[in-house]
């Protein structure tokens, strides 16, 4: 087969091996199948079953907000995935059995409040004279709580900067 004939056939039956993308609006999200339904903003045909992650198993899942803008990239004419997201409603890491991330600033404040309260109670307890009576004559008992002061927790002690979260603003 000649090169000219091969090139002519390629242009006629050009497969989508290079991939392409479309800017879309998210119409709905299916968390069970981890897909979404997208409407291209250039008014092309709607795109159904757009993947939200590489595998429907555990991993990294970005869930876009309904009505937000996304970029849908195509692996083939019948397989597409969300490659960019303008607004995220939720992020799931490694499956659905998860807890939320810690709000480090609020946690640090709560820990410092508890540490300050314990320190205050220990100081008050140790400053108080303890009298025990044993067979008629009172004796002073030394304080039983240690005088070691709890040091306030710093944010860097409890913060993991590998995963970062914003406050939505």
Q: Residue 13 has what pLDDT?
A: 63
Yes or no: say if 121 and 96 are a contact pair by the CB < 8 Å rule.
no
Domains present along the chain, CATH in parentheses: 3-93 (2.40.50), 104-157 (no CATH)
Q: List the chain residues with pLDDT less than 50.
A: none
From the centroid of its chain, how far is CA 46? 29
Q: Residue 4 has what pLDDT?
A: 81
Which burial class, exposed, middle or buried, applies to 27 when counting CB atoms under 10 A from its CB (0-12, 13-18, 19+)?
middle
Q: Residue 126 has what pLDDT?
A: 77
Q: Residue 103 has what pLDDT?
A: 81
Beta bridge partners of 29: 36
Q: Residue 40 has what pLDDT?
A: 95
How many CA atoms within 13 Å lie on the side-chain side of 121?
9
Q: Residue 49 has what pLDDT?
A: 95
Q: Residue 125 has what pLDDT?
A: 80
Q: Residue 91 has what pLDDT?
A: 83
Q: Please tell me the pTM assigned to this model.
A: 0.60
Spatial separation of the C-alpha atoms in residues 144 and 114, rounded to whole Å: 20
Non-local CB neighbours of 72 within 8 Å, separated by 6+ positions: 21, 22, 23, 24, 38, 40, 47, 50, 80, 81, 82, 83
The CB density around residue 52, as the number of other CB atoms within 10 Å, is: 22
Q: Residue 47 has what pLDDT?
A: 95
């Amino acid at each position: 087969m000649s090169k000219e004939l091969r090139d002519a056939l390629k242009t006629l039956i050009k497969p989508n091996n290079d991939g392409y993308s479309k800017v879309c609006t998210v119409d709905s999200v299916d968390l069970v199948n981890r897909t979404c339904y997208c409407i291209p903003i250039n008014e092309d045909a709607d795109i159904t079953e757009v993947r939200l992650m590489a595998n429907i198993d555990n991993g990294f899942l970005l869930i876009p907000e309904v009505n937000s803008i996304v970029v849908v990239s195509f692996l083939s004419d019948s397989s597409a995935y969300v490659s960019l997201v303008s607004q995220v409603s939720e992020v799931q890491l490694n499956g659905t059995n998860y807890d939320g991330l810690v709000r480090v600033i609020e946690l640090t404040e709560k820990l410092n409040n508890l540490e300050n309260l314990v320190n205050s109670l220990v100081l008050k307890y140790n400053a108080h004279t303890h009298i025990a009576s044993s067979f008629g004559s009172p004796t002073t008992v030394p304080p039983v709580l240690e005088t070691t002061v709890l040091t306030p927790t710093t944010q860097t002690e409890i913060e993991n900067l590998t995963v970062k979260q914003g406050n939505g603003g």
